[in-house]
Amino acid sequence: MTSSEPAFVFGQRLREKYPQPLTFLKCLSCGTENSRPFKEGDYIFGMVDSEKCPKCGGTSSKIVNIYVPEKKETR
Ligand SMILES: [Zn+2]
């Protein structure tokens, strides 16, 4: 088991009902990492210029991770 699951798996789950994935953005100005709900078109290392950094107000961020919560259906 690796500590973090690769995010590539989210593609196959988009067609079903899935838990809201999270996109992690790193601000290019100050390096702060923020997360927000995944939006269509997000991909790792993609550039985002529509999110405002809460710390410095910069609008250029890079996607550094996309986290897909596991569906809890054990039962
Ligand atoms: Zn910033």
Alpha-carbon distance 9 to 47, whole Å?
Answer: 20
Domain count for the chain, please give it. 1
List pLDDT tens digits, range 45-64: 999 999 999 999 999 999 99
63: domain CATH number is: 2.20.28
Cα 25 from chain centre: 7
Residue 19: the pLDDT is 78
Q: How far is the CA of 67 from the centre of ligand 1 (A)?
A: 21
- Residue 10 inside a domain? The answer is no
Please check whether residue 53 lies inside any domain of the structure: yes
- Asked if the model's pLDDT at residue 31 lies above 60, the reply is yes
Residues spanned by the domain of 53: 19-67
User: 52 CA distance to ligand 1 centroid (A)?
Assistant: 8
Looking at the domain assignment, is residue 43 inside a domain?
yes
**Per-residue pLDDT, 48:** 95
Alpha-carbon distance 7 to 21, whole Å?
Answer: 10
Q: How far is the CA of 22 from the centre of ligand 1 (A)?
A: 19
pLDDT tens digit sequence for 14-25:
555 667 899 999
Q: How far does the centroid of ligand 1 lie from the alpha carbon of residue 26, in Å? A: 8
pTM of the model: 0.67
CA 69 / ligand 1 centre spacing (Å): 26
